[in-house]
A and B are shown apart, each in its own frame.
Chain A
Amino acid sequence: MSVDKETVRRIARLARLKLEEERVEPMMEELNGILAWVEQLKEVDVEGIPPMTSVVEQRLKMRDDVVTETDHADALMVNAPGGEDHFFVVPKVVE
């Protein structure tokens, strides 16, 4: 399988990654180089093989359903670009 320019534009959009038009073709070639290489996995018969879900056999831990982290609002805002008070700021989304 390989990707065309339209697919590259579509996945860039899905990934929310701006791709300038002149970068679409080189990116297509790079991705196709990698995809052509992973193609060899098709040689392997995986019929009836379960997909791996965890490398270490362990049951997920349970914990008490209690609040352990509280009042971090100030700390959470320290790194927010354009944050004001305890609000994250984004461009207007509703007209």
Chain B
Amino acid sequence: MSDLTDFTLAEARDAVAGKKISAKELTQGFVTAMEGARALNIFVTETPDIALKMAEASDARIAAGTARPLEGLPLGIKDLYCTKGVRTTAGSKILENYVPQYESTVSQNLWDNGAVMLGKLNLDEFAMGSSNETSAYGPCISPWRAKDSKTALVPGGSSGGSSAAVAARLCLGATATDTGGSIRTPAAVTGTVGIKPTYGRCSRWGIVAFASSLDQAGPIAKTVRDTAILLKAMASIDDKDSTSVDLPVPDYEAGIEGGVKGLRIGIPKEYRVEGTDPEIAAVWEKGAEWLKAQGAEIVEVSLPHTKYALPTYYIVAPAECSSNLARYDGVRFGHRAADPKDLIDLYERSRAEGFGAEVRRRILIGTYVLSAGYYDAYYLRAQKLRTLIKRDFEEAYKKCDMLLTPATPSPAFAIGEKIADPVTMYLYDVFTVTVNLAGLPALVVPAGLNTAGLPLGLQLIGKAFDEATLFRAGRALEIAADLKAKPQNWWSQ
């Protein structure tokens, strides 16, 4: 039965809808795979009972002829999405025992579409990290290994559980979130597809907040088609999120085979960053050739403020994080320190005990840049830089329809390799972070393997709310790359 887990989401959808397999059979296959893969530390919380119950309900619907678009399809949910009655930790000790009494809009949309929940996926604490190593529940391990090596590699972050689960074939697709690259970095280093939609496309309601002006939900899946199917189900107009945009959600899947003929693809020269792995630079060139061969026009463009994006981000994101995370006070929910001597002691110790090192660091940076006397020098200047970064894209889009860039400066690195120095880790998001600052959509597609056999991804950056064109171009890259490789199962017990 193990081959059930090799299905793409679209194949499984068609098999279930065509009654070739039952939702319960399919779900049982994934539950078994999930339970056998604990060595990878992908799930923070497994919910097999909920999964099988949902699958039974799906089978009843299919029998009754009232099946919905994702009927009976098992998914993993990043443990940043509040799930009613199921513990939601945000990868933090401070929420170790937190059981939401409500459901996030995006996960509710998936259940309303018939999807099945397998469990909650590991992530960097409060989504702050690029490697899933800051999780209070331990690092998540990539199913990929370099040729002839047993070194444990990171699955990227912060949505490392989401990318690893999809790559290890433990679910058909997963929800993720992206504040500075947290969907795209994990997708790139695990050979999976991930899209960060335009800011406002998916509701943020019920997703644990990190940096509200940058956070955006999106899917990670095996193929461009699967990702398009999931985004259609996840996105909605939501009155509960005032930044949710009042635009109808297109049927992304319908147009994905449209090709790239006539599209103008921009190559931003500032993305030729020193220190980029030569194999990634090579796959980037190849990607441009592939698109050109299918009828796209390649144009060189300039995004002059690119080098300022990361430092801008590391003012804006910590500032918003320090404000958002003020709610964890040990009083209303979350970890509470024992025997406080007074109220201040309760706050200070609950927070110090509950937050990990990276989160504490970002809260302090954020508090500093927002504090009296420093606001103008840091936060206000960063917000002005953000305007300049967005203008760069507006200028570039006068010459092209989308941009093609690398997704990460190097393939997956070893667990422990970059965690010691915060700035070294931050630099890993050099190609992804600009997009969040400008609110734009971006899709990462696997484009090849390096000589060590590890996946390399490419990023397509689109115009606001033009996800449909991104999926088309992503599909064109996918066809050209024709990547069949997947991680060999060394983890099953």
Contacts and interface: CB of A to CB of B under 8 A. Distances in A.
Interface of A: 1, 3, 7-8, 11-12, 14-19, 27, 30-31, 33-35, 37-42, 44, 46, 49-56, 58, 60-61, 63, 72, 75-76, 78-82, 88-93
Contacts of A42: 381
Interface string B165-198: 0000000000000000000000000000000001
Main secondary structure of the interface of B (DSSP, over half): helix
B45 interface: no
Interface string B74-99: 00000000000000000000000111
Interface stretch (B3-11, B331-339, B446-454, B479-487): B331-339
Contact of B388 (A27, A44, A60): A44
B343 A90 contact: yes
B101 to A, nearest CB: 4
B86 to A, nearest CB: 13
Nearest to B344: A16
Given A16-B347, A44-B385, A55-B199, A79 B363 contact: no
Given A27-B364, A41-B385, A52-B390, A17 B101 contact: no
Nearest to A38: B311
Given A44-B388, A49-B388, A14 B311 contact: no
B363 A17 contact: yes
Nearest to B387: A52
**Residue with the greatest number of chain B CB neighbours at <10 A, chosen from A38, A44, A79, A93:** A38
A48 to B, nearest CB: 9
A49 B364 CA distance: 27
Given A81-B336, A91-B343, A17 B360 contact: yes
Interface of B: 97-99, 101-102, 198-200, 213, 239, 242-243, 245-246, 305, 307-308, 311-312, 314-315, 322, 326, 329-336, 340-349, 351-352, 355, 360-361, 363-365, 367-368, 371, 374, 377-378, 380-388, 390, 421-423, 437-439, 464
26 contacts: A3-B368, A14-B371, A15-B351, A15-B363, A17-B363, A17-B364, A27-B364, A30-B422, A33-B423, A34-B365, A40-B307, A40-B308, A41-B382, A52-B387, A54-B213, A58-B200, A58-B243, A61-B239, A76-B332, A78-B99, A79-B333, A80-B331, A90-B346, A91-B341, A91-B346, A93-B343
A76 to B, nearest CB: 8
Nearest to A72: B101
Given A18-B351, A56-B199, A88-B331, A75 B101 contact: yes
B422 A33 contact: yes
Nearest to B360: A17
Given A34-B423, A46-B385, A56-B464, A17 B311 contact: no
A46 B384 contact: yes
Contact of B239 (A30, A49, A63, A75): A63
Given A15-B367, A19-B352, A55-B213, A38 B334 contact: no
Contact of B361 (A7, A31, A58, A79): A31
A66 B84 CA distance: 25
Contacts of A27: 360-361, 364
Nearest to A83: B332
A49 B390 CA distance: 12
Given A16-B329, A33-B422, A55-B438, A38 B314 contact: yes
A59 B360 CA distance: 34
Given A18-B351, A55-B438, A11 B388 contact: no
Nearest to B346: A91
Nearest to B84: A75
Contacts of A35: 365, 368
Contact of B364 (A11, A50, A89): A11
B314 A51 contact: no
Contact of A55 (B239, B384, B390): B390
A81 B308 contact: no
A50 B391 CA distance: 11
Given A14-B367, A31-B364, A33-B423, 12 more contacts: A16-B348, A17-B351, A17-B352, A34-B422, A40-B308, A40-B311, A44-B308, A52-B390, A58-B200, A79-B97, A81-B331, A81-B334
Contacts of B383: 51-53
A49 B311 CA distance: 18
B3 to A, nearest CB: 42
A37 B423 contact: yes
**Residue with the greatest number of chain A CB neighbours at <10 A, chosen from B97, B311, B329, B388:** B311
A81 B335 contact: yes
Contacts of B385: 41, 44, 46
A38 B315 contact: yes
Given A1-B377, A18-B351, A80-B331, A55 B439 contact: yes
A80 B315 contact: no
Contacts of A81: 330-331, 333-336
Nearest to A7: B368
A11 B386 CA distance: 25
Contacts of B346: 90-91
Closest A-B pairs by Cβ, 7 of them: A55-B439, A51-B383, A81-B336, A79-B333, A18-B352, A75-B101, A18-B348
